[in-house]
Every structure is written in structure tokens, then in C-alpha cells.
């Protein structure tokens, strides 16, 4: 028969295995359920992208995400939604951008990565907004320059990047 200690069971083969209390199991289950709800809300947001109702509906979904305890960990997923719809309007700036920008300046590396992966009208617009801030100006300008000079980027996105770059370098 195994010998019991405060938080561990010592099995006859002398292997120590941590015990999970009922509270720990409930917390783990709740976290899994919250993550499922967060994933469902992100999927709903993604399905709405590109629709006429996006700007209005996204406000409600972003509020639900906040209520579910979503935090910085979903920012990259929000960028993926934007990347999947490179020419779409997500609002000016819209609930999604307000949510992302609530993590300023921590989200800047994710924004730069997104722009390098798949530049979009919205992410270069966000990049331009950030250049006006006090963090990472040269790195942000460099990312914008890469988009403006990349012939493989959609012409509308490239032209917009050039316009932002001209504006920023003339300041």
C-alpha cells in the first residue's frame, strides 16, 4: 500500500507523483473551459472579418473576450485574423485595434512580425500610428520601408506604405 505525505503519493516503486487537490482540478477545468470559450469567440471574430457587420459585431466579441479573461496571449491570434484579410477595413481604429493597443508597447514586436509575415492595409496603418510614439521608431520605420519596397506586396498595400513612409520621413 502506498505511503502518503502531505502533497505527494509515494508509490511502491519509489516514484513521487504530485497529487492534485479538488480545487486545483476545478481551476484547471475552468481554465480549459475559458480557453474553449476564448477560442470560440476568436473563431466567431475571424468568421465575421470582411463582413459589413464586422465593426459593430467585433465590439461585442472583444468585450466578451475581456469578460472571459483574455489578455495579451490573444494578440498574435488577432494579428492572424487581420493577416487573413489584408485589404479589409477593421475600423478606424476599431475594437480589435483598441484591444491590441491596450498592450502598448508590449505588442510592438508582434506587430512588426505580422507586417513582415503578411503586410495588410490595417497593420501598416497601425505601424504608422506607432511610429508617432516614443518606442522603436527606427525599427518600425524599417518594417514600413520593407513593405514599401517589396514588389511582391499587393500594390495598394505597398502604395499605402510608401505614403506613410514619405509622411514619416518628411517630419
pLDDT digits (tens, 9 = 90+) for 43-94: 999 999 999 999 999 999 999 999 999 999 999 999 999 999 999 988 888 9
How much is the pLDDT for 35?
Answer: 83
As a whole number, mean pLDDT of residues 33-47 equals 89
How much is the pLDDT for 34?
Answer: 57
pTM: 0.78
Q: Which residues contact 5 (CB under 8 A, 6 or more apart)?
A: none
Q: Which three cell numbers stand for residue 14?
A: 519509489
SS3 of residue 150 by DSSP: coil
CB 47 within 8 A of CB 20: no
In sign, the C-alpha dihedral spanning 65, 69, 129, 151 is negative
Whether 13 shows a pLDDT value over 50: the answer reads no
Whether 12 shows a pLDDT value over 70: the answer reads no
Amino acid at each position: 500500500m502506498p505511503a502518503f505525505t502531505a502533497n505527494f503519493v509515494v508509490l511502491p516503486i519509489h516514484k513521487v507523483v504530485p497529487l492534485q487537490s479538488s480545487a486545483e482540478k476545478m481551476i484547471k477545468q475552468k481554465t480549459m473551459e475559458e480557453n474553449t470559450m476564448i477560442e470560440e469567440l476568436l473563431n466567431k471574430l475571424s468568421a465575421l472579418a470582411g463582413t459589413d457587420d464586422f465593426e459593430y459585431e467585433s465590439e461585442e466579441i472583444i468585450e466578451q473576450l475581456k469578460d472571459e479573461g483574455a489578455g495579451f496571449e490573444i494578440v498574435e491570434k488577432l494579428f492572424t485574423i487581420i493577416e487573413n484579410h489584408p485589404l479589409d477595413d477593421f475600423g478606424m481604429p476599431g475594437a480589435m485595434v483598441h484591444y491590441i493597443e491596450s498592450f502598448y508597447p508590449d505588442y510592438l514586436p508582434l506587430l512588426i512580425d505580422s507586417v513582415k509575415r503578411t503586410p495588410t492595409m490595417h497593420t501598416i496603418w497601425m505601424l504608422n500610428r506607432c511610429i508617432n510614439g516614443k518606442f522603436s521608431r527606427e525599427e518600425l520605420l524599417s518594417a514600413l520601408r520593407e513593405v514599401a519596397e517589396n514588389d511582391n506586396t499587393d500594390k495598394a498595400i505597398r502604395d499605402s506604405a510608401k505614403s506613410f513612409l514619405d509622411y514619416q520621413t518628411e517630419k
